[in-house]
Amino acid sequence: MSDGGSGNKMWGGRFASGPDAIMEAINASIDFDKKLYAEDIAGSKAHAAMLAAQGIISPSDAQSITEGLDTILSEMERGEFAYSARLEDIHMNVESRLAELIGPAAGRLHTARSRNDQVAVDFRLWVKKTAQKTHAQLRDLMEAFLQKAESHAGTVMPGFTHLQTAQPVTFGHHCMAYVEMFARDRSRFADAIRRMDECPLGAAALAGTSFPIDRHATAAALGFREPTRNSLDSVSDRDFALEFLAATSICATHLSRLAEEIVLWSTPQFSFIRLSDRFSTGSSIMPQKRNPDAAELVRAKTGRINGALIALLTVMKGLALTYSKDMQEDKEAVFDAAESLELAILAMTGMIADMTINEESMQAAAGAGFSIATDLADWLVREIGMPFREAHHVTGRAVAIAEEKDCGLEELTLAELQSVDPRITQEAFGVLSVEKSVASRSSFGGTAPDNVRAQAQAWRERLSAQGSDEAV
């Protein structure tokens, strides 16, 4: 089925008949790239202003173009713009409407540019803006963790390896681990922003243009640091989108690990935390249930975010320079991943800020599983000069006795400890508590409460020094 032979007038005279309906459906991208409308208008306004400044188009045409673009932007923001799939994409939709509004002058806007550099600048602007927003949202998440870390710098809990009780730590220290993780995520987005802060507008189709354009002017007008330096790379590069997705995937993985802990901690078996009603749901059949659905959905969204990265890597892996239509498939994955990550960060920020900490359950669990065994081994090394491997063996034998008696190490008698090694004295019991264990871990980066408070304060000062609206 054709469009009646009228053709797509935006294509010009090269094509005598319009596309078949199937071709139109597979070729059109307006259903998703209309998300770039603000960036497309901004890029066109900057281009028109530059063309006029360089004497390539008249000031009156530039003014008409700018006024027409402002009208189109207003229509789009009010939801009154009539998008057409027959015009393929956001660029052609805007140009067609501009022609309706201002007549032939609209045709001058596309002088010295192509849809190839136009979509490259639109998409890059959108990704840059989104990465900046993500960078700011991660700051809010870090702030939520800092508040919890400061409030619970001395709240003991079990630290785990292999999800088995290992050594006591503090909940504040656990929170600070996520501060470090999300700080690295922020730095990855900041690094990506610095690399993508180059403007491809003016590269035209692939080879640049013979018109005397000023690419530095359009780059500055659009908030870029500088123009890109190679026209071939300008229109074929999607590294900025790939790097954004890579940073997004790593961040989502961190969020997923946190979500898994929240799911575990909120069970009756752990009972470490209680999520607020805002981030819990009930059961249609079991009235007692409080389900951590928000955390579970954060965990699940990592799959689609990771999938977006793999999808775009796969699209790009076989493309010769420069532009190919394959690259139309770059946007949906990025849009979806960005939306998924934003929801995940906002949900997690809310969960962390609202959650209630069950200090008693954490305290009880912190001492289970012989978590202070290493403290006895360290005492043997420190106080009687025993080699650590021997101290490890001696402590293991003490643990075996405690297991047989179904009691903690601190509940053994001195005689029982001395049956393992007669050099053990009453002073050994001075280290056999979870509070003394965490307090003793005062090495830099350790779990001691004073360390936690110092690190939280250091991070607050670092974030404050950067400012609430820091440039990245």
The predicted-structure confidence for 152-190, as pLDDT tens digits, reads as follows 999 999 999 999 988 899 999 999 999 999 999 999 999
| Strand 164-170 relative to strand 198-199, pairing | unpaired
Decide if 322 contacts 235 (C-beta within 8 A). Answer: yes
Our CA dihedral for 336, 342, 347, 350, rounded to 10 degrees, sits at: -170
Which secondary structure element, helix H or strand E, spans residue 195, and what is its range?
Answer: helix 171-196
Residue ranges with strand state E in 284-443:
356-357
Per-residue pLDDT at 14? 56
Helix H or strand E encompassing 167: strand 164-170
* Number of neighbouring beta carbons within 10 Å of residue 327: 22
283 an active-site residue?
A: yes
Looking up tokens 């003016």, which residue turns up? Answer: 202
Q: Could you write out the DSSP letters of every residue in 343-374?
A: HHHHHHHHHHHHPEE-HHHHHHHHTGGGTTHH
8 A C-beta contact, residue 249 and residue 257? no
Catalytic entry in 17, 74, 84, 283: 283
Residues 153/435, Cβ–Cβ less than 8 Å: no
- What pLDDT was estimated at residue 1? 36
- Catalytic annotation on 17? no
Which H or E run includes 32? helix 30-33
Judge whether residue 47 has pLDDT over 60: yes
Q: Is the pLDDT of residue 24 over 80?
A: no
- pLDDT at residue number 266: 94
Q: Is the pTM of this model over 0.75?
A: yes
Please state, for a pLDDT cut of 70, what percent of the chain lies above it. 92
Supply the DSSP symbol for 431: G
- Strands in 286-360 per DSSP E: 356-357
Question: If you search the block for the tokens 């770039």, which residue do you land on?
Answer: 36
- From 162, 210, 284, 443, active-site residue: 162
More confident: 369 or 45: 45
The model's confidence at residue 9, banded by pLDDT at 50, 70 and 90, is: low
Tens of pLDDT, residues 189-216 = 999 999 999 999 999 999 999 999 999 9
Q: Residue 143: CB partners within 8 Å, gap ≥ 6?
A: 463
Q: Which of these, 263, 264, 268, 301, lies nearest to 279 by C-alpha position?
A: 263
